[in-house]
Amino acid sequence: MYNNINLYNNLTSNDYLWQYSYYDYQDLAMSEDWQTVLTTAFTITVVLSITGNALVIVVLLFGKSVSGDLDIFIVNLAVADLTMAVFSMPFTFTTLMYGHWIFGGAMCPTMLFVQQVSVCVSIYTLTAIGIDRYFAVMYPLKIRWTKNRNRLVILAVWIVSAVLSIVPPVVGHTKAEYWDGDTIFLCAEWWPNETSSAVYELFVMCITYFLPLVLLAYTYINIGIKLWGRRIPGNADRIRDQSQARSKRKVIKMLLVVLMMFALCWLPLHVFNIVQRVNPEMLQQDMTRVINAGVLWLAMSNSFVNPVVYSFMNENFKVRIPKRQM
């Protein structure tokens, strides 16, 4: 999914792809123009991701005491996105710049594992939030999610994510290649054949994109319908009803943004990975560099979108930020 961090690896990360490799060593690094564009884009993304998610963690853990049943999920989401920003983005960016791996053999499988765990935790925490909100709105009196139950859900999210992330470090390692008398190292998943690589990519796409997307769409659509049709019992009150309508629109808007950003940020990367694994000869090298850089950045950008949507668009979060004393 997110583990093809090397543009060059996307066409050479499997032994069967070497027949389609046409790079000369001098062409491995990005051109200066693209280095400028990518440096700007990735720097902004990393800075926003680190500052946004760190602020969320600090505010929710040390801010004003206000009851919030989603706090543990939002903190966990911020931890996962912060992990991605610190331990995945710099390695991805550097490898994009140089066109090959420069961080040593031991770091390669470690990096593949950490980045996939962080992505899975982020995605499954988003899914857990959707399911939590669904039961809170649809069955407010039947099912009550306690803090202990939420902690168990978070623990399950990390365990499942770790299990699903075992494959990349098992099949992933560095390989030395020799170009014009120079030695370069490639960090990637090295599959024995095209079929196993494509099957795994499809499996990852299903469990980390389509399944969460279907669950989020189902829960948020039903929540929107429920909230839109809900009426406050008792006599009509114009001011009260207008306030309720505004609150409904804010909630529904937030849910739609969450769903759309998740779908838009991750779909291009999954599609690209499937195409390059199944038909690597269809993609020209220079085109692959540009496309892969774009879809990787788009997927990473979801890590700074999450705190904006779930926290800064949430009135309950804003009141917890300490105010400066005049």
pLDDT of residue 240: 56
Q: Which residue has the higher pLDDT, 283 or 147?
A: 147
Nearest to 197 by CA among 296, 131, 275: 275
Rounded to an integer, the average pLDDT of 303-309 is 84
Residue 303 C-alpha from the chain's centroid: 6
Instruction: Label residues 261-300 b or e (16+ Cβ within 10 Å = b).
Output: bbeebbbbbbebbeebbeebeebebeebbebbbbbbbbbb
What is the arithmetic mean of pLDDT over 280-299?
A: 73
Which residue reads 């189902």 in tokens?
218
Least trusted range by pLDDT, from 34-43, 58-67, 251-260, 292-301: 58-67
Question: How confident is residue 212, by pLDDT bands cut at 50, 70 and 90?
Answer: very high
Confidence label for 64 from pLDDT (cuts 50, 70 and 90): low
Higher pLDDT among residues 84 and 193, named by residue: 84
pLDDT tens column, 109-121: 998 999 899 999 9
Neighbours of 312 (CB within 10 A): 14
Output the six-digit token pair for 98.
Answer: 């140089």
210: Cα within 13 Å, side-chain hemisphere:
9
What domains can be seen in the chain, in order of their start residue?
Answer: 9-231+238-318 (1.20.1070.10)
CA distances from 248 to 128, 155, 227, 236, 254 (A): 21, 32, 6, 17, 10
- Give phi and psi for 237, each to the nearest 5: -140, 115
- pTM of the model as a whole: 0.80
**Residue 125 confidence (pLDDT):** 92
- Which pair of tokens denotes residue 12? 């050479």
Please report the pLDDT score of residue 14 as a whole number.
Answer: 38
The bridge status of strand 172-179 relative to strand 182-189 is: antiparallel
Band of pLDDT at residue 316, cut at 50, 70 and 90: low
Predicted confidence band of residue 307 (pLDDT cuts 50, 70, 90): confident
Higher-confidence residue of 221 and 140: namely 221
* Phi–psi pair at 284, nearest 5 degrees: -75, 155
* Tokens 């599959």, residue located: 191
What is the C-alpha to C-alpha distance for residues 159 and 99, in angstroms, rounded to an integer? 33
User: Is residue 10 very low, low, confident or very high in pLDDT (cuts 50, 70, 90)?
Assistant: very low
Q: CA quadruple 66, 67, 71, 72: dihedral positive or negative?
A: positive
